[in-house]
Amino acid sequence: MCTMRLDSEGARRRRAPVLAQLVDLFLIEMTNWRWCWRSMVITASLAPLVSIAALGIFARDSGIHALGYVLTGNMVISLMFGNMDNVQSHFSFIRFRGALDYFATLPIRRQALVLAVVLGCLLLSLPSLVVTLVLGSAILRVPIAPHPIAIVVIPMCAIPLSGIGALIGSGARTPQESGSWALIVTMVMAGLGPVVVPPERLPRLLLLLGRFSPATYAASALRQALLGPVTGQIAVDLAVLAGVTAIVFALVGRVMDWRQR
């Protein structure tokens, strides 16, 4: 028992710094996407644009205010839940291919692996995000006024639920089950609170429940960063998203099973 404990402590001491782990894992992940990044960019651009065009038909009579919710709400769904879905499908794939067992043999932290995967997905989603913003604002005729704080807001919208995606992908019994759970999480959280729909058009119960959904705060922060004006509320939004990120990544470190089959 003492020997095993000493070996474990020695393995921890031999770990590279977290930043070095993150850079190495990020480069590994980017090589995994070199064959399919084009289709990912195209799909990630088309889906929100179709949704924006369809919802814009019904929201047009409600004015710029409602159209702004349609634009930024769809961007949040793409950023937060699209990346969560990409993370869960990636972890499901590497798990059933046995690659997760390989990562378990390396002196790395689970959180570094998850963060490397989501940063890779985020990087690939940036071109489609720009396309959605430019074409979506043109379709809806919503004026945009990007603020420099968007540099902080955009990754903070993508990272919080990435750990949930990793837990789903590494813990589901089948790839199909993994995708189903990710869809359920997306539908529940995106439907609660003023994400795509303005608060005045939602029942009070949904507004109350929406306070417990990180998507509500992500949508609020993104609206302020891209449409303006930026108010003190954005500090609250970012604090909530940072808190959710900390809780989820702590959960990943404790619960995620490297070798589960």
Q: Where are the domains of the chain?
A: 18-255
Question: d(Cα 149, Cα 146) in Å, to the nearest integer?
Answer: 8
Question: d(Cα 39, Cα 19) in Å, to the nearest integer?
Answer: 30
CA dihedral of 180, 181, 186, 187, whole degrees rounded to 10: 70
Question: d(Cα 59, Cα 85) in Å, to the nearest integer?
Answer: 27
Question: d(Cα 78, Cα 72) in Å, to the nearest integer?
Answer: 10
Average pLDDT over residues 209-229: 92
Sorted by sequence, the CB contacts under 8 Å of residue 32 that are 6+ apart come out as 90, 120
* Residue 70 pLDDT exceeds 80: yes
Q: Which two tokens stand for residue 206?
A: 């949904």
Model pLDDT, residue 259: 60
Q: Residue 78: CA atoms inside 13 Å, Cβ hemisphere, count? A: 33
Question: d(Cα 138, Cα 190) in Å, to the nearest integer?
Answer: 24
Residues 222/153, Cβ–Cβ less than 8 Å: yes
* Residue 11 pLDDT exceeds 70: no
Model pLDDT, residue 219: 92
* Residue 77 pLDDT exceeds 80: yes
Q: Which two tokens stand for residue 208?
A: 């109350």
Average pLDDT of the residues of the chain: 83
C-alpha dist (Å) from residue 68 to 38, 48, 73, 244: 28, 14, 8, 25
Neighbour tally for 245: CB within 10 Å: 19
Percent of the chain topping pLDDT 90? 18
* Residue 14 pLDDT exceeds 60: yes
DSSP string, 180-229: HHHHHHHHHHHHSSSSSS-GGGS-HHHHHHHTT-HHHHHHHHHHHHHTS-
Question: Nearest Cα to 143, choosing from 75, 63, 68?
Answer: 68
Residues 67/140, Cβ–Cβ less than 8 Å: yes
Q: Tokens 């993370």 belong to which residue?
A: 87
- Evaluate if pTM is beyond 0.85: no
Higher pLDDT, residue 126 or 218: 218
Q: Which two tokens stand for residue 79?
A: 């950023």
